[in-house]
Structure 1
Amino acid sequence: MACTSDVTTAISTSETTFGDGNATTISAVHPDIIQTHILSRLDGPALASVATTCRQLYQLSSQEHLWAKICHSTWPSTNSPHIRHVISTFPSRSRSFFPDSFPLLLTPAPSTYNSHTNPDRTTELISAVDIFYRQQLIFSKVVETETVTGWFSCSPFRIDLLDPKDVVQTPIKCPKGDEACQDIGDDLSLSWIVIDPTGRRAVNLSSEKPVSVQRHWLSGEVHARFASVLTGDKGSSSEFAMCNLMITFGGVEGGDMHVREASLQMEDMDGSHMNGRDSLVILQRALEGKRGRRVRPEQEGLKRYQEFLNMKKERKERKLRAEGRLDFLCAGLAVVSFAGLCCLFVFWR
């Protein structure tokens, strides 16, 4: 909101000066006026800041209806009956859900995680997804994914929001030329919140802004990739993993575009898609991980994505060098063995 910072500064002081020059404390203002005309106009970070100023404002800022309103306005998908029910089971309801889902997910070193994560603890994942274009909602959906089946554990992990034949119309104009794809990325934003109803935690896996926007050379579809780098399993072949959030747009050049596909997948540092069980372990660690302030989240998300790509490249080069050394060693042993056999053959003749 435009005046959020000004309102926060004004009510964060212990005294308020009126037009006649007289000063009074904030406690003299009726609580209904504070809630209805002041606190209800704040966004989440501002409301949390106000709550730290004094005990009275903390109590007034902790009201469920304030935080529920902020959650629903920030993420329209959370207004669905099922999501509202799940949020009601959180320790402080919407006041717990918002800080879980709003801050940028940090990625600590793999050694800081508990290695005894139990994937069987989580029986369901709920995805609350909202796509915005120029700050206007163009798509919103809630998808539930069961995690207890053998098919989920062994198959490549993937969450799809749309069936193959479904499309969602948007006001986005199909770009003319590859150069115009970047303009779409500048105006596009995504929120993909994954909720664990059993553990009563949530995490936003989106980089908010696309880390890449490309047009497919054959189909002409526009692929907008959002991503977040997560900590993998130190005991596996990959200490980091990337959560790929892919939004695919189709349409005739110059006409309105439509969403053809929206999916979430997990990829290890070898570029392989991870199965459901391994992905669930990584998601549980992300749900339990630390959060940070969203300072230029689009730049931070792109930075981590590029760092992950560099790590993948370095890892591939190390494997190629190791394989090259092994091939050279095997070739040397083959030459020595052949020479030895030749010497034996000559000797016995």
Structure 2
Amino acid sequence: MSSSRPMSTTTTTTLTTAFSLLPDDVIRAHILPRLDGCSLAAVGCATPELSSLSSDHQLWSHICHSTWPSTATPRIRHLISSFPDGARSFFSLSFPLLSPNPHPPSPSSCCSLPDQLISAVDIFYRGKCMFSNVQETETVTGWFRCSPFRIDLLTPKESVPTPIRRPSHDDTCKDLYADLELSWIVMDPTGGRAVNVSSFRPVSVERHWLSGEVHVRYAAVVEGHVMCSVEVTCVGGGPGGGLVLHVTEACLKMEDVDGAHLNGKDSLVILQRVLEGKRGSLCKKGGMEGRVEEGRRRYLEYLERKRERRERVLRREGRLDNMCVGIGVFLFVGIIYLLCFSSSR
């Protein structure tokens, strides 16, 4: 068995020299289009010549459309073209995992909230896109800003058939952790900014014991105490419940560590900071699996903080209850004593 050894400096230099001898047309037409976004970004850092070749707008547009089919719609195409570096900027903003610590709020954050949010959503099953949609949400009405923040992808009467077989027991749902992937990109069309608020793969999959509904959650934690949660509900479709699942609900919500849903205005303030904030590394160590594991780790840490906070609240309420009971007993005994003392006289 041959052991793998790192290439020497001489070998690396030889390969780089040989690659540089290839015509630009060959590199542009036959090599770079075969790379994914992370690989293309890494290649662009190698030499000035490759940096120029890998900055082609059509190349990055193809990568965006193949990664997120929803970006191929005319509305999103036009929006992406308004970004500073076009599709390349859009990819660098939308692909990395959401940073848990966005930039501190600027003084004008509450005064320059987005007037509109555009959601580009893609759902994949075993690597194949089974549903894409673009949702535009107005955010200026008082009803939106005062009500709990919620963006629904489907109307109550809509459903999307899937190739997923209806699970007969809870163990079958475990396959969805690896098979069912989702991307939810939120864009501010005025500011030319975008962010992916999904964990890409589920952080939890639960099957209701009575109705058989399968609830899948994707989550991104920001600021340590706020969670962007995408909840997907799948039910059996067709006569008699059907043998395959249909997606009947897909919505984006935001909640705090106490489990309370944030209203539209508070959610917009946080989204504003997230859109303006930094992102994780584009070419993160471990690739997609590393991103998924980090997102799940943040979610578990969020649940732990939520549990600890709930226990502190319960302990504080318990102490107050004991204090109230003690005061009540003291007053009761005092009244009995006074009544007995008065009757003895």
Give the TM-score of the pair, scaled to structure 1: 0.86
Matched position secondary structure for 1:105? coil
Instruction: Determine which of 139, 144, 150 is the counterpart of 1:152.
Output: 144
Counterpart Cα distance in 2 of 1:327 and 1:115: 42
What amino acid sits opposite 1:326 in the alignment? L
**Counterpart in 1 of 2:93?**
100
What pairs with 1:130-145 in structure 2 (closer than 5 Å)?
130-145=122-137
Q: Distance in 2 between matches of 1:56 and 1:282?
A: 40
Cα displacement string for residues 250-269 of structure 1 (whole angstroms, at most 9, x for unaligned residues): 11677222111111111111
Select the residue among 297, 306, 311 that pairs with 2:300: 306
Structure 2 gap ranges (5+): 1-10
CA RMSD of aligned residues (A): 2.3
Aligned-pair distance for 1:309?
Answer: 1.1
Equivalent position amino acid for 1:261 in 2 = E
Question: Residue 277 of structure 2 aligns with which residue?
Answer: 289
Residue 330 and residue 200 in structure 1: after superposition, are their counterparts in 2 closer, same or farther (change >3 A)? same
Cα displacement string for residues 238-288 of structure 1 (whole angstroms, at most 9, x for unaligned residues)? x61111111111116772221111111111111111111111111122222
Amino acid at match of 1:248: T
Aligned to 2:249: 261
Residue identity opposite 1:300 in structure 2: E
Pick which of 92-101 and 213-222 moved more. Answer: 213-222
Cα distance change on mapping 1:68 and 1:14 into 2, 3 Å: farther
Q: Is the 8 A contact 1:176 1:254 kept in 2?
A: no
Q: Residue 213 of structure 1: CA displacement?
A: 1.2
Give the conservation status (yes or no) of the 8 Å contact 2:150–2:252.
Answer: yes
**Matched residues in 1 for 2:322 and 2:243: separation?**
57
CA distance in 2, matches of 1:121, 1:155: 16
Structure 2 counterpart of 1:197: 189
Deviation per CA, 1:187-224: give whole Å up to 9, x if none.
11111111111222111111111111111122211111
Partner-residue secondary structure (3-state), 2:84: coil
Matches within 5 A, 1:11-50: 15-16=14-15, 26=20, 28-50=21-43
Q: 1:86 to 1:339 in 2, by over 3 A?
A: same
Q: Tell me what 2:45 maps to.
A: 52
1:176 counterpart SS class: coil
Report Cα offsets for 1:79-132 as digits up to 9, x if no partner: 111111111111111111101111111212x8x622643264311111110000
Find out whether 1:85 has 2:78 as its counterpart.
yes
**SS of corresponding position for 2:317:** helix
Q: Which amino acid aligns with 1:249?
A: C
Q: Distance in 1 between matches of 2:127 and 2:193?
A: 26
AA matched with 2:78 = H
Q: Is the 8 A contact 1:105 1:289 kept in 2?
A: no
The alignment of Structure 1 onto Structure 2 pairs a total of residues equal to: 323
* Distance of aligned partners of 1:227 and 1:25 in 2 relative to their CA distance in 1, 3 Å threshold: closer
Q: Partner of 2:227 in structure 1? A: 242
2:113–2:268 Cα contact (<8 Å) kept: no
Aligned twin of 1:113:
104
- What letter is aligned with 2:235? G
1: CA distance between counterparts of 2:111 and 2:229? 20
Conserved in 2, the CA contact under 8 Å of 1:174 and 1:255? yes
SS of the aligned residue for 1:292 comes to: coil
**C-alpha separation between the residues in 1 aligned to 2:336 and 2:294?**
63
User: Normalised by the size of structure 2, how large is the TM-score?
Assistant: 0.87
* Identical-residue share of aligned pairs (%): 56
Aligned residue identity for 1:84: R
Deviation at 1:329, TM superposition (A): 2.4
Q: Which residue of 2 aligns with 1:270?
A: 258
